[in-house]
Chains A and B, each alone.
Chain A
C-alpha cells in the first residue's frame, strides 16, 4: 500500500516532514493537491482510490494506519473532494498524484509525449502549434507565446537561449512553486520543446531564493533527466538562484541578473526574442507558460484552445490566497467569474467576516469590491475594468481591511523594490508614499488625492516596466472603489 505525504513547501511549512518521517522510509513525497487547509494531507492508496487524512500531526500517523477510513481526520476519496472535482487540470494533471522525482512515473502518466510529437512535427510546425493553441504569457503580460517563439525562431544566431522565469514574487501566487516541486519534469519537457522549436541549446531556470525547495527539486530533476539522456548536447539547462529582488521577475532585469549584473530593467526594443540573454535571441517565458506546452504538443493545439473565452484560451491555474476559507490552487478554463472563485470555490473569508476587497494579480494588481464579482476571468475583461489578471493570484480581505493602508503599502512596496533605473518609479513611489501619508493624516485630503492621481498617471505612462507602471493599479482602484477609507481622518489645516 502506497502512502503519500507532500514534499511541497506549503505542506512542509505546517509539519509534513515530521508526518512523513512517522510513516517511514516507504512514504512517497508527492506534490501538493493544492488544498492548503488540509495540509499536511496524508493519502493512502486503496482499491476504491486514494483516501485522504487531513491536518495530521506525527503522533496521529500510527492511529491513521491502524484505523484507516474510520480515523476522524479522514476526508474520504481525495479525487472526489468538491474543490478538486470542479477543476479542469491540464497543467496540474499530475501534481499531487505522482512522485515528482520519478521520471518513470512521469512517463507513465503521459510525460514526454509532447516532445515526441514535436520531433515528428519538426521545429516550424511545433512553433505553429503553440501559436494556434492561443497560449498567452502566464507571467502576467499575456503576450501570445507563439508569436514570441516565431520571432526567436526567425532570428539568425550562433546561440539561442530558453529562459524560464520562475521568479514568482507576487503575493498570492504559488503555482510556479507547485509545478517545480510537484511536477518538475513537465517544466523540463516544456523548455526542451521550446529549445527544439526555436533552435536553442541552452536553458536557464531563474528561481527566486525564497523558494529553496523548488530550487532543490528542479536541480534534482535536471540531474535525473541528464542521466537518462533527455538533456545533453542537443539541449541542456541549469538552475540559477535569485538573491531577493522582486524586480528580477521583470524579464529584462531577470536577464541582467543571469548575466551577473544588477537587476536593472532594460529599455525595449530590442526585444529579448531578438537580442536577449548575452545579446542572443532568447525566449523568456513564465513557468506556467512553458508548463502548458507539453499538453499542447501532446494533445494538439485545438484540445487546449477549446477551453476558455474570447482571446483567453486554455486553462489558468488560479491561486486563491489571503483571508479565504478554501485557499489553494484552482485550475480552470478562462471565463469563470471572480464571484464564483471567491464565494463559491473559496468559500468566503477564513475569518467568517464579509469579503470587502480582493486583489487580483499580485502587488501590482487592482483591488475590487464584491460589487464587481461578475467580472469573468479573462485578460480583456480585467483590462477593461482597470485591472489585470497578472499571474492569477487572488488575495481576499475581510471588512477589517483599511484600504488607505493597502494603497500606502503598494507605494511602499514599489519604493522598496524599484530597481532605480527610471525616475517615475524610483522617485514617484517615495513621493506617492508621502502623499498618501498626508491623506491618512487628514491633511488637505482633496488636493492630495488629486496629486496622487496625477502622480499615478505619470508612473503609469513614464515607467520603463510594470513595477512603476502598474503600481498605480492598486492605488487608484483603492481610491476609486473604497473612497470612504481615504476620508476618515478629520481634515486639518496644513502648516504653511
Chain B
C-alpha cells in the first residue's frame, strides 16, 4: 500500500528493490504488488529501478514503464512537500469541497492531489494523508489538517 506523502525519503538502493522482488518471487501477476511496494518504500518508483524489476520478471522495460505511467498512485518523482489527497468527486462537490480546496491549495507547505472518491460520501468533504482519512472538513478543519500534514 502506497504510504505517499509526509515522512518520505527520496533515497533508494538497488538492494532494497532486490529485497522487494524476493518477497514476491514466484507470485503470479506480481508486477503491480511489487511496484506498490517500491512506491511505498521510497515514495516514488525510480526510473533506474524499472530495468531491475523488468529483468526479474522477464518483462521488457517498456512493459514495466507502461504500468508505472498508467496508475495514478505510482510516481516517477518523489513529492517535494507532504501530500494531501483531496476528494473532488461529485458527492464531495455536493458537500462543498470547492469551498475548502483554495485553503489547501494556497498553502505553500503542502501539495494537494486530487482523488476521486474515498468512500466517505455521506461525510465529505474528505481527504487522505498517507493512510489516514479525514471527513467533515470545514474551513477550520482544513487549516488544522494542513498544519498537521506540514509538520
Contacts and interface: CB of A to CB of B under 8 A. Distances in A.
B120 interface: yes
Given A171-B89, A359-B90, A244 B120 contact: no
A433 B69 CA distance: 23
B62 to A, nearest CB: 11
A435 to B, nearest CB: 21
Interface stretch (A64-72, A252-260, A453-461): A252-260
A278 B120 contact: no
B119 A174 contact: yes
Nearest to B92: A171
A319 interface: yes
Interface in A392-433: 393, 395-398, 401, 406, 409, 413, 416-417, 419
Given A240-B33, A322-B90, A209 B1 contact: yes
Contacts of A398: 94
A260 B67 contact: yes
A323 B134 contact: no
A320 interface: yes
Contacts of B57: 260
B134 A13 contact: yes
B135 interface: yes
Interface residues of A, number: 62
Interface string A423-467: 000000000000000000000000000000000000000000000
Interface string B113-151: 001111111111010100101111000000000000000
Contact of B89 (A240, A319, A363): A363
B2 interface: yes
Given A10-B135, A244-B72, A262-B67, A172 B31 contact: no
B26 interface: no
Nearest to A405: B93
Contact of A243 (B71, B89, B126): B71
Which of A171, A319, A322: most chain B CB closer than 10 A?
A171
Contacts of B28: 278
Which of B31, B119, B120, B133: most chain A CB closer than 10 A?
B119
A301 interface: no
Interface in B25-40: 28-33, 35-36, 39
A324 B122 contact: yes
A37 B136 CA distance: 10
Which of B32, B115, B121, B128: most chain A CB closer than 10 A?
B121
A9 B117 contact: no
Given A170-B117, A173-B117, A243-B71, 20 more contacts: A10-B123, A10-B135, A171-B116, A171-B121, A174-B122, A240-B33, A243-B74, A244-B115, A258-B32, A261-B31, A261-B66, A263-B70, A278-B29, A321-B94, A321-B121, A327-B121, A363-B90, A393-B121, A406-B90, A406-B93
Interface of B: 1-2, 28-33, 35-36, 39, 57, 63, 66-67, 70-74, 85, 89-95, 115-124, 126, 128, 131, 133-136
